Amino acid sequence: MASGVKPRVKAPKKASAGEVVTIKTLISHKMESGQRKDSSGNVIPRSIINRFTCDFNGENVIDVVLAPAISTNPYFEFDATIPEAGDLKFTWYDDDGDVYEETKSVAVG
Amino acid sequence: MALLPLSAFAQADPNAELVGAPDDFLAGADAAAGDLTLTAPEIAENGNTVPISVDAPGAVEVRVYALGNPTPGVATFRFGPLAGSQAASTRIRLAGTQDVQAIAKMADGSYQTAMKTVKVTIGGCGG
């Protein structure tokens, strides 16, 4: 399942040095839990995003392990400290081996 | 968990192990109530997307469990050096009315826990 996966991130473009900013992320993904059955009774195989990380200039902000109990279109909201200007890097890891990345630059001033 | 194919995790980072069950995480340690807050609605109309948030000042890791789901593990949050707070929000699936538990591992190695009962009108696990 690699079709129609689209990461969205809401992060401020500007912050003051040392400021704590709130970040919201959402990635469109069906998060097939592996518990459901199709119309003929066969189990639909699991296909989820199993890990999400956020780093700022290579330093970790948050690292989340996802289980099938995370809803369709996984959404996360968390806080990050912005010590200097740089890039927020968001990475999602799919069960099928795909990795989705998104980068947001934050200016300080 | 034994029913899941191993190949499902072949691509995952070695650090990204399963969320598991509360007993696996605690490994015999006791968890007491503390600063950990778990926010969840009392009544969720739709078990497919139940908004929850955890706030655990001083925690290094918070795990969330839905004790009535086919597999209890929901998510593991690890907070890095640049985390602005030890808090996060997400949306989870609940198979039915049940207890949601959060367990936080604090920086000093102790554990805290918080529990919340969520009433679910429509189950979220294909039911």
| 0.90 surpassed by pTM | no
- CB contacts under 8 A, B 4-33 vs A, are 4-5, 8-13, 15-19
Q: What is the pLDDT of residue B21?
A: 84
Q: For each of chain B's 127 residues, which pLDDT tens digit applies?
A: 445 444 444 444 444 457 888 888 888 888 888 899 999 999 998 899 999 999 999 999 999 999 999 889 999 999 999 999 999 999 999 999 999 999 999 999 999 999 999 999 876 665 4
- A37 part of contact set with chain B, CB < 8 Å: yes
Query: Is the Cβ of A60 closer than 8 Å to some Cβ of chain B?
Result: yes
DSSP string computed for B31-80 = EE--S-EEE--SEEEETT-EEEEEE-TTEEEEEEEETTSSS-EEEEEEE-
Q: Tell me what ipTM this predicted complex has.
A: 0.91
Mean pLDDT of chain B: 84
**Which of B74, B78, B126 is facing A67, going by the closest CB pair?**
B74
Structural domains of chain A ordered from first start = 6-36+43-97 (2.60.40.10)
The CA-based dihedral angle spanning residues A55, A56, A59, A62, taken in that order and rounded to the nearest 10 degrees: -40
